[in-house]
Amino acid sequence: MIQEILESNQFIMLMALLLIVSIIVTKFSSRLGVPSLVLFIAVGMLVGNDGLGFIYFDNPEIAQLIGVIALIVILFEGGMLTKWKDIRPVVVPSISLATVGVVLTTSIVALAAKFILHIGWVEAFLVGSIVGSTDAAAVFAVLKGKNVRPKLEATLEAESGTNDPMAVFLTISFIQLLTIDQVNILGMIGSFFWQMGAGLAVGFGIGYLASFSLNRINLDSSGLYPLFALGFAFLSYSSSSLLQASGLLAVYVTAVVIGNAELAYRYSILRFHEGFGWMAQILMFIILGLFVSPTEVFTWPVMMDGLLIALVLIFIARPVATLLSLSGFSFTMKEKYFLSWAGLRGAVPIVLAIFPMLAGIQNSQLIFNVVFFTVLTSALVQGSSITRIAERFKLVSDKLGNPIHSLELISIGKANVEMIEFDVTERNIIVGQTLENMELPDRALINAIIRDGDVITPYGQTEIKAGDTLYILVARKNKKEVKKLLEAINEEKEEEHEKSRA
């Protein structure tokens, strides 16, 4: 009994140290110019059986389960931060990248894998399908905090959030071709359209149900609302999966619907899921690092094969797929080159590489090792240089956004009022106005202004200046009216800004 308690305490201590080290690692990732996912994987490999030997883990079923659960959380968090007004203009090109682009990438990588790995054609296409899609976890993590033009950022986020169904469909299809004697090709094609259509329908349906429930159900604690929202994320995935539809697509669509709705406790929900999303990334990549065997991956044959496939993927397959998929759309050549370079691979290909192991495919271990090294190469080469490429191509933008945050006041949560936080830019029409001249609704009051790091107590003659942060107490029923007033743009300033950018 005492021995079991000691072992459990040691395990808890190890988990605590892993969590602390992983969070500290994120601080160094930006300084080193290395995506945090690579460092998380490195932490997992370090404490694994081939490293320090603290944890022995070689269960593909558990690795796949943890990977899928983490992807649900990460997709949900990323989808809630995606603004529909940003992705609406790029929905069609994003879907083209997520479908046609994945097929083209798969085909080109398969051609290379056939001759590099000396495997059969179906196995080669299996390798291509596994690495054919970009990874939402990697894209969301790398783009967060980067000042890439909103159009390009929205395209990459929409693509990475919607291309998983195609990659999963292709991977499972080629596994079936390897394991089943007779496969109905027409049935497989029909299955893909069903997965996409039903996944979209379930995502929209549960998204609207979740938005309605979050606003109408009065819970006893504001801390329950983020968990309530998370429950709908898992409901969306499981419902779609039970219908043989795309669960990951449904989760992303559900999150977009929720994130673009007017929520009573938006700030609490977003802040919770930001932290929980980081937790999911840390857990997922450490588990994947534990699962891999460095002594098998970091051998000259595997590294050379993985490097060659990565070079084909980065410099041939992805560029060709991007240029062809976006032909006819309003993207400049520089923008297409950037979208090509920013097509990161991450957790999704590694999780998909576990599928052949579960199916007992011949050469499944070779496929996993090569895919793992290919993903590491992609993350290191592309992920560490995205900002520099964007700056070189002059595809960075000014910080134009001034999102409105709602700070829920727990003590007056029953009074249906919120505290709005708003960052004023020089383009806002309220710049230069005094508080007494602002046409705020009766049940709205500016309580404080932060200017140059100082707190200013507002009064009638206080003038709004660019760079101010306003804190406004407002009744929820008047929130839309206040947002419309705050977000109104000065047309003259807008024209001057556009001329300066040109």
Judge whether 157 and 149 are in contact, CB under 8 Å: no
Q: How many CB atoms lie within 10 A of CB 358?
A: 13
Give the residue, 409 or 366, on which the prediction is more confident.
366
Task: Please tell me the distance from the alpha carbon of residue 141 to that of residue 256, in angstroms, as a whole number.
Answer: 17
At residue 411, the pLDDT reads: 40
The size of the chain, in residues, is 502
Mean pLDDT (the chain, rounded): 84
The answer to whether residue 103 scores a pLDDT higher than 90 is: yes
Question: What band does 400 get if pLDDT is binned at 50, 70 and 90?
Answer: very low
Cβ-Cβ contacts under 8 Å for 328 (sequence gap 6 or more): none
List pLDDT tens digits, range 16-60.
877 888 888 777 766 665 677 888 888 889 888 888 888 888 888
Written as one letter, the residue type at 112 is A
The answer to whether residue 497 scores a pLDDT higher than 60 is: no
List pLDDT tens digits, range 112-144.
999 999 999 999 999 999 998 887 777 777 776
The answer to whether residue 415 scores a pLDDT higher than 60 is: no
Give the residue, 343 or 187, on which the prediction is more confident.
343
Q: How many CB atoms lie within 10 A of CB 240?
A: 27
C-alpha closest to that of 203 among 157, 240, 152: 240
Q: How many CB atoms lie within 10 A of CB 185?
A: 9
At residue 144, the pLDDT reads: 66
C-alpha closest to that of 140 among 281, 340, 240, 302: 281
**Residue with tokens 């409901």, as numbered in its chain:** 235
Based on the number of CB atoms within 10 Å of its own CB, is 216 exposed (0-12), middle (13-18) or buried (19 or more)? exposed
C-alpha closest to that of 207 among 279, 277, 139, 260: 260
If you average pLDDT over residues 282-289, what whole number do you get?
88
Task: Please tell me the distance from the alpha carbon of residue 323 to that of residue 331, in angstroms, as a whole number.
Answer: 10
The answer to whether residue 432 scores a pLDDT higher than 90 is: no
Query: 65: which 2 tokens?
Result: 């389960």
pTM: 0.80
Question: What band does 419 get if pLDDT is binned at 50, 70 and 90?
Answer: confident
The answer to whether residue 153 scores a pLDDT higher than 80 is: yes
Task: Please tell me the distance from the alpha carbon of residue 168 to that of residue 147, in angstroms, as a whole number.
Answer: 31
- Identify which of 131-135, 163-167, 350-354 has the greatest average pLDDT: 350-354
Judge whether 141 and 37 are in contact, CB under 8 Å: yes
List pLDDT tens digits, range 446-496.
888 888 878 888 888 888 888 888 888 888 778 778 888 888 876 665 555
First to last CA, the chain: 73
Task: Please tell me the distance from the alpha carbon of residue 88 to that of residue 498, in angstroms, as a whole number.
Answer: 21
At residue 242, the pLDDT reads: 93
List pLDDT tens digits, range 201-213.
999 999 999 999 9
Give the residue, 105 or 450, on which the prediction is more confident.
105
Task: Please tell me the distance from the alpha carbon of residue 375 to that of residue 362, in angstroms, as a whole number.
Answer: 21
Q: Residue 443: what are its φ and ψ, rounded to 5°?
A: -95, 45
- Give the SS3 label for residue 402: coil
Task: Please tell me the distance from the alpha carbon of residue 135 to that of residue 159, in angstroms, as a whole number.
Answer: 9
At residue 496, the pLDDT reads: 57
At residue 459, the pLDDT reads: 82
Judge whether 289 and 43 are in contact, CB under 8 Å: yes
Give the residue, 498 or 373, on which the prediction is more confident.
373
Judge whether 420 and 426 are in contact, CB under 8 Å: no
List pLDDT tens digits, range 216-227.
888 877 788 999
